[in-house]
Amino acid sequence: MADPFPARPPKLLDRMREALRVRHYSYRTEQSYVDWSRRFIVFHGKRHPAEMGAGEVGAFLTHLAVERQVSASTQNQAKAALLFLYREVLGVELPWLGEIVQAKVNKRLPVVLTPREVRALMDELNGTMGLIVSLLYGTGMRLLEGLRLRVKDVEFERREILVRDGKGGKDRMTVLPENLILPLQDQLARARRLHDADLADGFGEVWLPDALAVKYPKSGKSWGWQYVFPSPNRSVDPRSGAMRRHHVLPESVQRAVRGAASKAGIVKPCTPHVLRHSFATHLLQSGYDIRTVQELLGHADVSTTMIYTHVLNRGGRGVRSPLDQL
């Protein structure tokens, strides 16, 4: 007998979320792609994407560039989201998508703090935020790489930190600064007390990547898998609905760095990523080989690392101005 109330097919954006998760896209990418697809649909009067084509996609991207004046990278991200929507969710090949212009991303020199500015910035920070900022500058890690750091990946004896699942899904080793060994050990002691309290309350399970939670069901509560910088509050996992303790939010660190830079009188645009730029530049200034810096940063191509040679020791590509010779 036929079901009188057949299940309704999932909505388009729910199907997109499922397709992204099957392909192991990050949660941040999932949020971004779904949001761009929603904006595309709303922009065209809530028409179904299957009813639209090259003209509508081009009009939306033009709107972003001309009226919204978004950056080239943002425009290209929107294009990538729509490409995923059509190709992977709707199963529609897009021979016309190649005709849509790819926005040209302008090459910008990175913002780099001087050692004096780095010291002034750190003088305005203390506690957990101060330790996170010191770690980012001392290791060259990206913000999320530092916040996602697990207890098991900090190697005190070998003075190394293993960065798991960095940009491009790659693992790499970076240096553990001597000056941060005792502060990190104190941080781990605080995190351990927090974890023990969670276990006593019936919680204590942390998020595990991919299918590790299924393969090793007890690992989520083990000490080694806990975050080095756990959040002060437990929260609901947006995908599974489980109550867990996540890591410190990146927005908290960004806000702290902006405030510290303002107090320190730093007029340059200052974000946590600037500390990574400063790490690379200061290593090169100290005479370290560019290949070594490339490995510490996790760059696939040395040409990416070479952008930091623009401030080596002397200004203006090492050229002495003729004015100084008068």
Residues marked active site are found at 142, 167, 273, 276, 299, 308
Q: How many CA atoms lie within 13 A of 222 on its CB side?
A: 12
Contact of 176 with 139, CB cutoff 8 Å: yes
**Tokens encoding 255:** 């806000």
Contact of 23 with 87, CB cutoff 8 Å: no
Contact of 248 with 144, CB cutoff 8 Å: no
Q: How many CA atoms lie within 13 A of 162 on its CB side?
A: 12
In Å, how far are 140, 150, 179, 181 from 134, measured between CA atoms? 10, 17, 9, 12
Question: What's the count of helices (H) and strands (E) in the chain, helices before strands?
Answer: 13, 5
If phi > 0 it is left, if psi is from -120 to 50 it is alpha, else beta; for residue 168 that is: left
**Tokens encoding 117:** 């500015």
